[in-house]
Every structure is written in C-alpha cells, then in structure tokens.
Structure 1
Amino acid sequence: MMSASLCTDLGELFIYSCGTTLEAKHLQAPEPESRVLGLYFSCSWNGSCRQFRQKLMEFYTAVNAKCERGSRRLEVVLISSDQAKEEWAKDFDGTPWLSIPFEDQDRKLLLWKKHKVTSVPTLIFLDSHTGKLITKNGVALVSEDPTGKEFPWKPQLFAEVMEGPLIRNIEGPQELKELEGYILGLYFSAHWCPPCRGFTPFLVETYKKLKEKGEKFEIIFVSSDRSDGSFTQYFSEMPWLAVPYADEKRRSSLNRLYSIQGIPTLILLDAERNVITPHGRPAVLDDPECKHFPWYPKPVNILTETNATLLHEGPCLVLFVDSEEEELVPALQLLQPIAEKIIAEYKLRDEEPPLVFYCAEEDDNISDSLRDFTNLPESAPLLTILDIATRAKYVCDVEEITPAIVEEFVSQFLEGKLQPEPI
C-alpha cells in the first residue's frame, strides 16, 4: 500500500490527460513490491523539459509494458510550474501519467518546497509503499537506463556500491575495508568545471592539515571527467584516493546513491557511513583551520558568502541583526532551541528539516546583497523566511524578536498559513 505520509503529501485528487480523475485512495490498492512513484517537476516552455518529456514517455511505456492490464510498476505525477492553464493542458495532453490539477497551486507549491526542487526538469523517484526516496536524479537515471533494465533501482548500501579497488597516485590499489573507522569525504568533481578547479587546491590544503593533526580522514574522488586523460591529469593534483575512471558503473551508482545534482560536491560520511553533511564544500571553505572537523551541521548558521549558496536549495529562516557581537550571539542563542526542536521532530520522521536557520549581520556584504535581491526592508532585527527556489518571501517586521514570535512565525509557515510575497 502507498505510504500514508506520502498520500498526505500528494493530496486527494489527480487527473489523467484524458480528463479522468483519480483519488489518492486508489493508489493505496495492493501493488507489486517494486512499485515506484515519480514526481515530475516540469514547465512547458522550458526546452530541456520538452526534450525530456518524450524520453520519459518512452521509459514509462517500457517499464510498464510487461505488467498485467490496468496495473503499473511505475506511476508518474506531473507537478507543473506553468502559469497558464492552456500551457499546462498542452504539455499534459497525450501523456500516460497523472497530474496534479492546474488549479491546485497550494499542493504544487508544497511539493516543490518539501523536495527542495530548484530547477526543471526534475524527476524524483520514491518507493510508493514506504515513501522513502530512491533518487532525486531521475532525469539522469532515465537517460542512463532508457528501457528500465535496472528498475526499480533500490538504493544499495555504501559498502555494496563501493566494493572494489581504489587507486592513489603514489601507492598501489587500496580496499575500502582498510579505511574502517575513518571519516570519509566523497569528492564529486571534474577538471572541466571551473568551480571544481578553484576548490580542489583549498581542499588539498585542508586534507594535509588534517593528516598532520593525525585525524583518521580520507577523501575518495568520484570523477565526472569526460575522458580518461582529463581524469588522469586532474587526479595527479590530488593526494587522496579515487574510484578508477574505467569503473563507470561504480561512479554512476555513487552519483545515484547521493543524488548528486551538481559539482563540486563534497559529502562527508562518519565511521558508520552515515552522512554527516552533503554540504562539505561550504563547511570546509568557512573553516580553513579545520577547527570544526568533521563539520557536523549546526542548528543555526551565520550567513557567509560560501554557505549563502544553500539558500537556493529550499526555505530558509534568516534573522537579520546589527553587526555588533552583542547582537549576534543572543540571536544565535534565541534561534538554537527552536531549530533543534524542529530538527529532532523531523529526524523522528526520517525526513530532512523543512527549514535551515541563519543569522545575518546587517552591514555584511552578503547580507546587503541578499536584501537587495529579495527587496527586504533595511530594519534590524528583521525575521524572514526566504524560499528563493519558488521566489517567495515571508516577512515578520517587528521591533523585538522573541522566542514566542519566532515559534509562531515558523509554525504558521509550516502549516501554510502565511501569505507569500514575491521575490
């Protein structure tokens, strides 16, 4: 049966392109254990979406071709960002899958926020029985496996995906079992990527500092280079390990396992191979002396130029305060218990927190840029929730920020009671 929480997220009513409606309860009928649900975030005017639409239709048909009549191993729900009903209808016409009705804007916005969708096309695959994420990289997966040979791509354990030798420039092959008890960094990068080339020397220095301190830390390079020659040249600059370039299946499986959607990405794993943080790059850049290794996420962050990129990944609460230290420290202390409570609640649900918490200094360059971009008032303190991906903001402009005000503001946002202003 479909997960109850997933059914709640999706709502009650879907529609087929032929006009037939379907209630969510009918998706709860007994289905094969391999059933997968795809959430397809798209927009008709986007060229990449138009190209991918045909690929997805062929994939959908191939995966469901061997099913008994009326049953499906894969169901897809279109979540369109079209602003005109005519555009949505034209894009949806003739497709075999479901869609959230055009008029149900609130439900679409909820799903965009929940899954932190920042661009289209995005295809997220979920296990429809448990609601657990299979991968956010459905677009790449459909392109790599157009007939669904490996469907339903159930997530493997890290040890299973990593099975096989690793290489290092100055030593022979090494096995993962030799790294038991180590903190691991998985570095997804490529020589053709300018931000990667900019970050790699900084990461090399960080790696050397941690080794000099005697930390049990290792990095594994997972290449996205376009040729073996580019990989060899780029890897020659690195003192750590790498997945062999020829092992394309293992590199692809790691990208899928961690839903890599852009590079450079540094994912940090603890000794049990649980994810410490998927945002290792800003953590490393903001800590050149490695004082906070292994960079467990903080409940509340001070906004910086490096971690500001995370504002694009989903809703963020930002409290702007005066630049004086006597203002910043109390602000962090005010937000900390509220952030910790939300993190704990969603951890029990095995879900990511719906908000990331920041404090921003009023006269800081990045704060000024953020205020200009989002057209926020210049007052301080100023409590806001920014959802840049959906170009929405929520502002609580009061003279004094108290824990009660923050909790009420957050509660109303999570319950969908706040009216957004456009960014």
Structure 2
Amino acid sequence: MSDPLTLLLGERVLRPPPQDGPSAAEEATGQGSPWLDTASLADPGRLVGLYFSAQWCPPCRAFTARLTELYRTLRAQDQEHDRVHRLEVVLVSSDAEVRGWDEQRRSMPWGALPFEHRQRKFSLCRKFKVTTIPTLILLDSCNAHVLTKNGVAMVTEDPHGLEFPWAPKTFAQTIAGPLIRPLGEMTDYGVLGDAHIGLYFSANWCPPCKAFTPLLCETYRRVREAGKKFEIIFVSSDRSEESFQQYFGEMPWLAVPYADTQRRESLGKLYSIQGIPSLILLDPGGHLITSTGRVALLDDRLGLRFPWEPAALSQLSPTNAELLNQEPALVLFVDSNEDEELGPVRQMLQPIAEKIVAESKANGEEQPLHFFYAGEDDMADSIRDFTSLPDCAPLLAILDVPARAKFVKDAEELSPSVVQEFLQDYLQGRLEAEPI
C-alpha cells in the first residue's frame, strides 16, 4: 500500500536541477537521475512543504527568495548537527507554459511536481482549497497531515526559522488573555466556560459586515434566550481604535482588545480568514464546527439548528448557494420541485455525502466538497447559465467556482454507483476539468 505522500504526489517527483550536472560518482550510483522517489521524503521529524507558485507571479518571486534563504539556513543547521533535514519542499506550479515552469524550478533548491502532472496539481489545489498564490502548506512527512496552511505567513514572520517547525497553536492557546466587554470592562477568557463560541471577524468600514451584524445580534439573543450557552468574540479588522470602539458599541458580546494586534492577527491566521464578515463556530472544547457560520445563520435566522453542525446534504437555496463561491460542491439538478422527485434524490445522495463527511472527520481533515441537490427554479437556472451547464435533467456536476472549473457527468440514468464512481474519480484526480 502506498504511503500518504505518494498518494498525494505520485511515485516520483523531480529533484532540484544540479548546477553543474551530475558527477561521475552520481551517475555510477544512480544519484544523477532527475527523479526522486516520493516515499524517500518521509522521515520522522521532517516537514514537507507544498509550494503553490508561478513564475509570472511577482509576489511568488519575492516569497521564493525568502523561502530559499530559510531552506538553506535550515539545511546548514541540520548538516552541522548531523541530523535529518527538517524541511523538504515540492513546487506545485501554476505556470501554464513549460518554459515558465522550467525557469521557475531551476531557480529553486528543492524538487518539483512534473509539469505534465497538471491533473494532480488541480487535485492538490482542490484537496487543500488553494485559491491564491503563493501558498505554502506544511505537512507531516510521515502521515501527510496538515500542520499549517499558513506557511507563507510563518516564513515571513520568522525568516530565520528560530521557531521552526512552527507547531500550530490551539484555540485555547491563541485566545488566552483578557477580553473586553462593550462598556469597557475587562474579563478573562476563562469566562467562556463550556459555551459554544463564535469568532466574528468584521470591521466598521465593511458594508457587508454592517449589514450582517444586526442579524447576528438578533440570532445571538434568540439562541441565548432559548437557554443555550453561546458566546461571541469580535475580532476586529478596523483601522483605528476609534472606529473599533464605535462599531463594538453596537454589539452585546466580547471582543479581543483592539490594542492586542498580535492576538487578533493570530486568530485570523489560525482559521485562514481571507475575507470579512466571517463567523467561525467552535464547540466548547475549542474544536471547529464550521467556518461558514455566516451562511448557516442566514439560513437559520431563528437559531433553531444552532450550533449549526454542517449538514452532509442540503437543498440548494439562495442563502447556501453562497458556498459555491467559496468551495467545491457536488450538485444534482432535477427538473421538479415536487417531493416525489426530490425525495428519491435525497435518499440516493444522503448516505454518499455522510460517508465522505465521516471519513474526512475521522482523518482530521476538512470535507473535500459540499453536497447539494437543486430543483427547478430561477436560482438553479442562474447557476446553470453562469457555469454553462447543459440544459438537461437529471444532471450531476461538480462545480469548483474558485478554481473556475467544472466536472459534468453525462449519464442517461443516475444511480448510487454512478454517483460514487464519479465522486471517487474526482477525488482521485482522474477527471478532466472543463473551464467555467
């Protein structure tokens, strides 16, 4: 059975190009081969960084210089102490032309995913939800578990690797410290007790935030009046203390003090916040329930389904359709809104979706995609038009709007086995993407 890294990257990756060509000794021992067995990267105590980058990207070129300096510094330290190299890096290029890819990899002291393995590259982007470059994802080399998706920030903040390997902090470690109430009273984070926690990333200058905050206030009140333990912590992105105080005055919950910039930034990095407003839901133990709390709340303004554990399968609605702009989703379109048509669809998809969600949770990973079914309505028509889907039903599609890619199943009849085969082909990177 293949090791986890090999399952991710394939049997072999390219070695870094030699500066002066292989020596006679390397040729005699086979070390002059351009290929490196992926399994050889696995070693206790070693991290493997998947570096998503491109030659045409100026921020990537700037970060490559920083990463190269760190990589060489760590190598020198490891050699000096005669220990295993603690960091290996593999380039996963977004270059569309082989010339740019080759130019980029020749400037780097680490290996690369072969240019022709484009489908595997797309699979890695989907698996780790990479939507921007540069991105550096650090994995445990032995089990391929994600240690951090914020490698770019880690390298930028610690360019000499003084705190490497940057063990990720827990929520409890990150939130530790004083919190502030709306009237200025300071309290300790221990006040959270055994409540479910919402981290609200927002700012006074952000119109969507200003529109969402009153809705959140109302739902927060309803949930607490129903006797449920729920605390919210405002994590501000405001540009001044005055703006923070004005905005926080509209809220009935706690906040990280504005002056505590480091803790505010650390919380954003811990949950990979890329836009606001964003509502993260945690259980009383500080474990993530959902990173899409805003969508969940808009779909349940009364808070009846609090704490909004993600449903394995949902009917596509104007509210939850927002998730299509954020993450990949499997959608089964039918040509009716009648329950006699939708009922069998739910029965077919439910166990498939639940299995994928359960497997992801057991592996400590985020689920790779959402699962929806859609009836015949204006919203479904708009999604079909936007993604240029065929005008037929039933129609099974996987839509990856952030990556501008779609995968469509052309089948006269849909059955559980057809859906499962299509899904596994997608997850294993065997499907050819069509552009959106």
- Is TM (by shorter chain) over 0.5? yes
How many angstroms apart in 2 are the aligned matches of 1:36 and 1:192?
A: 39
Q: Does 1:124 align with 2:137?
A: yes
Q: Does 1:230 align with 2:229?
A: no
**Which residue of 381, 384, 404 corresponds with 2:394?**
381
Q: Does 1:46 align with 2:33?
A: no
Letter in 2 for 1:23: D
Residues 68 and 235 of structure 1, relative CA distance in 2, 3 Å threshold: same
Partner of 1:248: 261
Q: Does 1:178 align with 2:178?
A: no
Larger Rg: 2
Letter in 2 for 1:214: G
Query: CA offsets, 1:149-191, max 9 Å, x none?
Result: 3221112222222221111113622223222221110112233
Displacement after TM superposition at 1:287 (Å):
1.3
How many angstroms apart in 1 are the aligned matches of 2:243 and 2:163?
A: 29
Q: Does 1:334 align with 2:333?
A: no
Count of matched residue positions in the alignment of Structure 1 and Structure 2: 417
Partner of 2:28: none
Residues 416 and 102 of structure 1, relative CA distance in 2, 3 Å threshold: closer
Q: Is the 8 A contact 2:324 2:400 kept in 1?
A: yes
Displacement after TM superposition at 1:399 (Å):
4.6
How many angstroms apart in 1 are the aligned matches of 2:137 and 2:13?
A: 17
Partner of 1:421: 434
Displacement after TM superposition at 1:277 (Å):
0.8
Unaligned 5+ segments in structure 1 are: none
Q: List aligned pairs for 1:194-213, cutoff 5 A.
A: 194-213=207-226
Partner of 2:359: 345
**Which residue of 297, 301, 304 corresponds with 2:317?**
304
Partner of 2:24: none
Letter in 2 for 1:149: L
Q: CA RMSD in A?
A: 2.4
Partner of 1:23: 37
Letter in 1 for 2:14: I
Letter in 1 for 2:57: N
Partner of 1:141: 154
Partner of 2:10: 11
Unaligned 5+ segments in structure 2 are: 19-33
Letter in 1 for 2:409: C
Q: Does 1:356 align with 2:366?
A: no
Q: Is the 8 A contact 2:337 2:376 kept in 1?
A: no
Partner of 1:57: 68
Displacement after TM superposition at 1:62 (Å):
4.0
Partner of 1:372: 385
Q: Does 1:276 align with 2:275?
A: no
Q: Does 1:325 align with 2:338?
A: yes
How many angstroms apart in 2 are the aligned matches of 1:319 and 1:355?
A: 13
Query: CA offsets, 1:330-361, max 9 Å, x none?
Result: 32232111111222233333333333211122
- Other structure's SS at 1:353 match: coil
Q: Is the 8 A contact 1:323 1:364 kept in 2?
A: no
Residues 296 and 5 of structure 1, relative CA distance in 2, 3 Å threshold: same
- Other structure's SS at 2:103 match: helix
How many angstroms apart in 2 are the aligned matches of 1:140 and 1:227?
A: 23
How many angstroms apart in 2 are the aligned matches of 1:207 and 1:293?
A: 10
- Other structure's SS at 1:67 match: helix
Letter in 2 for 1:53: T
Q: Is the 8 A contact 2:119 2:430 kept in 1?
A: no
Residues 157 and 107 of structure 1, relative CA distance in 2, 3 Å threshold: same
How many angstroms apart in 1 are the aligned matches of 2:430 and 2:10?
A: 17
Displacement after TM superposition at 1:63 (Å):
4.2
**Which residue of 23, 31, 36 corresponds with 2:47?**
36
Query: CA offsets, 1:112-163, max 9 Å, x none?
Result: 1211212222221222234222221222333333333322111222222222
Displacement after TM superposition at 1:282 (Å):
0.6
How many angstroms apart in 1 are the aligned matches of 2:297 and 2:397?
A: 27
